[in-house]
A and B are shown apart, each in its own frame.
Chain A
Amino acid sequence: MTNEAVLHSHIEHAKPTGWRRWVCSTNHKDIGTMYMIFALIMLFLGGASALVIRAELFMPGIQLTSPDLYNSLVTNHALIMVFGAVMPAAAGMANWMIPLMIGAQDMALPRMNNLSFWFLPAAAIMLVLAFIVPFIPGGGTMVNTGWTLYPPLSLQVGMSMDFLIFTVHLLGISSILASINIIVTILGNRAPGMTLMKMPIFVWSWLVTAFLLILIMPILAGAVTMLLFDRNFGTSFFNAAGGGDPVLFQHLFWFFGHPEVYVLLLPSMGIVGSIIATFSRKPLFGYRSTVFSMMSIGLIGMLVWAHHQYTIGMSLGAVTYFMIGTILISIPVGLMIFNFIATMWRGSMTFETPMLFAIGIILMFSFGGFTGVMVAVIPGDIQYHDSMFVVAHFHYALIPGALFGLLAGVFYWIPKWTGYMYDEKLGKLFFWTSIIGFNLTFFPQHFLGLAGMPRRIVDYNLIFTEFNVISSIGSFIYGLSHLIFLYIIIKTIRGGKKADGKVWEGAKGLEWELSSPPEFHSWSKTPEIK
């Protein structure tokens, strides 16, 4: 059957209703919506665990949790945010927007699209099980390793670790399927005239991301499978007593883990690029160089993993290589950020919520990038490594770099998705409270790290009290601000000012030529691109 024929058979089916519309969905918009709702739930779960962590660290002494529960929360917070919130949200936006942006009727592989989404709730159930089995008598110990799951510590953990390993497998399958789908859609389903170098920057960012995911997810899956075998079938891949090598796991993990950072970052940067251009009423500065910097970020990002492991005792040659490689990433990242700033320059800017977030991202992500250069430089990293400084650094990189980008995307596109404008006043209120809360939470953590506070400790000495108090207060402002966000979303879905097809004055691109919200099957007549 040709594409055209598939399409027609689709359109003849009336729009399904009731639970079938969602559970059996093959529609990119519905699946995109489900991805994002899933991500939103996970964002609140991950955020709640972060608030328990910060509440525990409010004062010296162990008040709320126990050491293992604390470690388990640290582990779950990271896994939920990375795999549950950020990646699905980005995948949801890819689902919704890529077909609209490239003039495709739907994703290329709609049934696989359904499958890749439904792996996620399964994975989430596994993750919840991993968290709760230790509370059941005979359920073994909690996952107290941090999201890095380093053996031999992860070999000591009870059966909750096995649940977690299966979680990772399911998440891995889901991401790989979604990535294949995105790549095939982008490469195969563009409207005539939409050449690669005419694609919106968001589509490019996802193309690079999808390739990265396909390259790295199998490595993680392999590594945790080896862990599973070590734990249950007497192999010794990572057990020194059996001739194995605990450090091998770290290499495998970070071979996945470092590019993963760019998986989280790039889609958001694609969003930021589109937003800045729209609200500056001016095309993206250096479109080509932005595309190539995204590709180089992906490429160099695959080659520098061991900068997470400077203290494991590598040779001078090895650490020098990893240090220089890592510092060089600042070139494409710097170029990309420069292009965004140059897009603002001599624009005719207005400051709606998405633009506020985009500007906030440029400023704070630059800061996170700069501290990234600090931790890349080894003599310094000898001190920063595994201290609160690193915690501060990567939250400055990942919250502006990934999460704020996605939030900006929500404000930017929610009129398109729902057909209603969000409440601009509340949007701005949310922006300011979350920005202030965020900085209050993470800025003081730099000082804690420099003063010698290790990360992932449940309890600390008095000398670290002041900054921890500030950080905890900030975290509650930051965390609770998301209730405003939730309210805005619900309010927008339920109604409000009607949005035009072209929601924003300066917006350019195919997606704005459709009505808001678009028909259930958009682009049933393929657009022409001049």
Chain B
Amino acid sequence: MSSFIKLFFKITTTLFLFVYCINVFAEYGLNFPEPVTENARDIYDIHMNTVRIISALLVVVFSIVIYSIIFHRKSVGYKADQEFHKGVFGRWAWVLVPVLVLGVDLGIAGKAERVLENLWLIPKDENMMDVKVIGHQWWWEYEYIDHGVTVESRYIPKEPSDDLYLRDVDNRLVLPINTKVRFLHTSADVIHSFWVPQLGMKKDAIAGYITETWADINKEGIYRGQCAEICGAWHARMPIVIEAVDQEKFSDWVAQQKNIMLAKAEEASSDKEWSMDELMEKGRSVYNKHCSACHQLEGEGLNPVFPALKGSKIVNGPLDEHIKIVLEGKVSTGMPAWNNLLNELELAAVITYERNAWGNDTGDIIQPSDVKTSD
């Protein structure tokens, strides 16, 4: 019998070691990445609190079951205690166990409740900055409401062996540190979810809703996340990259963005007559950036979800229809309406490009003014 007791203790110590290991692992990369906001830190603490409690309970459950397996077996001659469930314990366990479980529950919930309030209620703060986050299939649009700046953020294709494969974007969401930022989430199409683990936030972006979260980043750096709600074919290609910088750098960045936007608007509103080459050049970059996720770089589409534009009847047919579908999109398919997302010059360029690239050979040149009239 004593050898069994030894075995029993061995098993329990192993289990305790195991739990201890979980805690150690927790510090070295098998756990959440480093939190960089107060909220993420609180979430981390709640997480560790619950992990510790359940690990302890798990050890208790495992120990009892293993003890029982070792000692209460027929092969060692143990006779079943047919009266066990009739004793005091048997009669009162139905009260005792729920009370104990309730106690543990309250311990877990009580601590969580305080953090929850902090996460959920957006603090009142004069210097709060608002960023509207709009989910699109399959990119993010960030509108800096207080600064009049809009940024489009798309995934950059890379090789799977690249460190930043599926985790890098062309334009980052630049945010100042030590500033309370309120995020307002919505969607232009299906549901997406904005998740950046190090900021301790995840919120769904739903068409027709505006949901809110907030963060106050306390450390400069680059923080990566991904869309967390399945949103169609390229759900895996919606990275989020936040660049947290100090206040000064942030102001510089805003000014720079404003200049870029101004230059773009100026170019678009000039009455210039654009040449085929210029439009093709511009059109290619607009196309590759905005349309290639669905229609593919060579216009071959992705059967059966996204039609090929190479050789398409609409693209090689009457101009009106082509312009119409690009401007207005098509409800309940993935094709977005582009009239509010691109300016006239970009629209004219991309339509020209589609009509003259990959062997499409209409020879049509579309000027910004052509697109304007059909708007």
Contact = CB atoms under 8 A, between A and B. Distances in A.
Q: Are these two chains actual partners, yes or no?
A: yes
Q: Is the interface of B mostly helix, strand, loop or mixed?
A: mixed
Nearest to A338: B97
14 contacts: A60-B161, A152-B332, A285-B84, A312-B209, A331-B101, A339-B93, A342-B84, A344-B65, A348-B80, A349-B72, A349-B73, A373-B105, A377-B108, A379-B116
Contacts of A155: 332
A461 B165 CA distance: 5
Given A134-B304, A349-B72, A454 B211 contact: no
Given A141-B305, A285-B90, A373 B190 contact: no
Contact of B166 (A146, A158, A460): A460
Assign chain B's interface to a size class: 35 or more
A328 B94 CA distance: 15
Interface residues of A, number: 98
B65 A246 contact: no
A330 interface: yes
A288 interface: yes
A450 B31 contact: yes
A67 B189 CA distance: 18
A209 interface: no
Interface in B30-77: 30-33, 42-43, 46-47, 50-51, 54, 57-58, 61-62, 64-65, 68-69, 72-75
Contacts of A447: 30
A343 B81 CA distance: 10
Contacts of B333: 156
Interface in B104-153: 104-105, 108-109, 112-113, 115-117, 119-121
Contacts of A461: 163-167
B226 A379 contact: no
Contacts of B231: 153
A59 B165 CA distance: 12
Interface of B: 29-33, 42-43, 46-47, 50-51, 54, 57-58, 61-62, 64-65, 68-69, 72-75, 78-82, 84-85, 90, 93-94, 97-98, 101-102, 104-105, 108-109, 112-113, 115-117, 119-121, 160-167, 185, 189-191, 193, 195, 197, 200-204, 206-209, 211-212, 224-237, 302, 304-305, 331-334
A150 interface: yes
B93 A345 contact: no
A454 B227 contact: yes
Interface stretch (A114-122, A170-178, A358-366): A358-366
Contact of A311 (B203, B208, B224): B203
Contact of A140 (B120, B160, B235, B304): B304
Nearest to A458: B236
Contact of A328 (B80, B105, B120, B228): B105
A320 B116 contact: yes
A424 interface: no
A324 interface: yes
B232 A363 contact: no
